[in-house]
Amino acid sequence: MRVLGIDPGLTRCGVGVVDGEIGRPLTMVDVGVIRTSAHLHVAERLVTVEKGIDAWIDEYRPDAVAVERIFARSDSSTIMGTAQASGIALVAAARRGLPVALHTPSEVKAAVSGSGRADKAQVTAMVMRILRLESPPKPADAADALALAITHIWRGGAADRLQAAAEAQRPSASPTTRATHLVTTSRIPRSRP
């Protein structure tokens, strides 16, 4: 399985590609950061992030994309840019029909280091160890992207297999019935005036 991990950000968007499967050594394929200038308009910066992610997907052809799930921070301007970059990553993957998984920072820390409270240095050290790297990926956004890919291979792959097994146990339903079920279960209730 090949996974593109994306640590979304408007100034620095970490990207990392990892090959592997559960129970086997993982291999880093490539890692980097898509950068944008704070002097550009937000729309131009988002186009740069989109083009960068598109290029990574086109070049490495991942089987899945793992994106960091956004969580609340004290700096709302950081959240907004991160959320916008995250949306771009989700759209780029969905446009190609790639499965997308969202992993929280604590899930990634726990998967890679064994502790959901690990700091960046501990996560980077474990990424180096897991991928047998001689030097740490820099900046931290790059190491975080690799950690996301590792997490998805170790946890996401297992979750996908469990979901497939559960679906195989369900009585078969027509495509129309399944589509109706999806629409009714994903409907958002409206507030009344």
Amino acid identity at 120: K
Residue 160 annotated as part of some ligand binding site: no
Considering the candidates 50, 54, 75, 141, report the single residue annotated as catalytic: 141
| 68 in active site | yes
Backbone dihedral angles phi then psi of residue 133, each to the nearest 5 degrees: -95, 145
d(CA 12, CA 142): 9
Residue 19 annotated as part of some ligand binding site: no
| 141 in active site | yes
Residue 7 annotated as part of some ligand binding site: yes
Considering the candidates 19, 50, 68, 144, report the single residue annotated as catalytic: 68
Kindly provide the b/e burial profile for residues 104-138, where b requires at least 16 CB atoms within 10 angstroms of the residue's own CB: ebebbbbbbbeeeebeeeebbbbbbebbeeeeebe
| 75 in active site | no
Residue 3 in contact with residue 62, Cβ under 8 Å? Answer: yes
Which residues are tagged catalytic? 7, 68, 141
Binding positions for Mg(2+): 7, 68, 141
Binding positions: 7, 68, 141
